[in-house]
Amino acid sequence: EAEVAQSPRYKITEKSQAVAFWCDPISGHATLYWYRQILGQGPELLVQFQDESVVDDSQLPKDRFSAERLKGVDSTLKIQPAELGDSAMYLCASSSRAHGRAYNEQFFGPGTRLTVL
């Protein structure tokens, strides 16, 4: 069964360092999401792509976070510089073309657990 791949699974870094996370969605999925999940809370959207275009990045802290999906396939999320409050699980999800389909299932990867020291 096809899965969403993420790497690394765990990342420990010191504050002010740069970190990057990679996501490979299920083949053929046009929509890709990055979520952040703080311990004890539900995931919150950071950015959503439709193919290579950003359709929602309203919750992305743009002074330090960036995301790209250059060829509309895999995606990278970067944080520079990392802060203590960025410690969280970063989840990637994908779905087939999203608009007009409220029942569109999202498939999640295993996540990257980031710890900032």
Partner 1 sequence: DAKTTQPNSMESNEEEPVHLPCNHSTISGTDYIHWYRQLPSQGPEYVIHGLTSNVNNRMASLAIAEDRKSSTLILHRATLRDAAVYYCILRDLNSGYALNFGKGTSLLVTP
Q: Interaction with partner 1 in 23-62: which residues (CB under 8 A)?
A: 31, 33, 35, 40-45, 48, 50, 55-56
Evaluate whether 78 touches 90 at the Cβ level (below 8 Å): no
CA angle 11/55/108 to nearest 5° reads: 40
Q: Does 111 bind partner 1 (CB under 8 A)?
A: yes
For 3, the enclosing helix (H) or strand (E) is none
- Out of 79, 91, 114, 116, name the contact with partner 1 by CB under 8 A: 91
Dihedral angle computed from the Cα positions of residues 49, 54, 60 and 65, in that order, rounded to the nearest 10 degrees = 90
- CB-nearer residue toward partner 1: 56 or 83: 56
- Residues making contact with partner 1 (CB under 8 A): 4, 31, 33, 35, 40-45, 48, 50, 55-56, 91, 93, 97-111
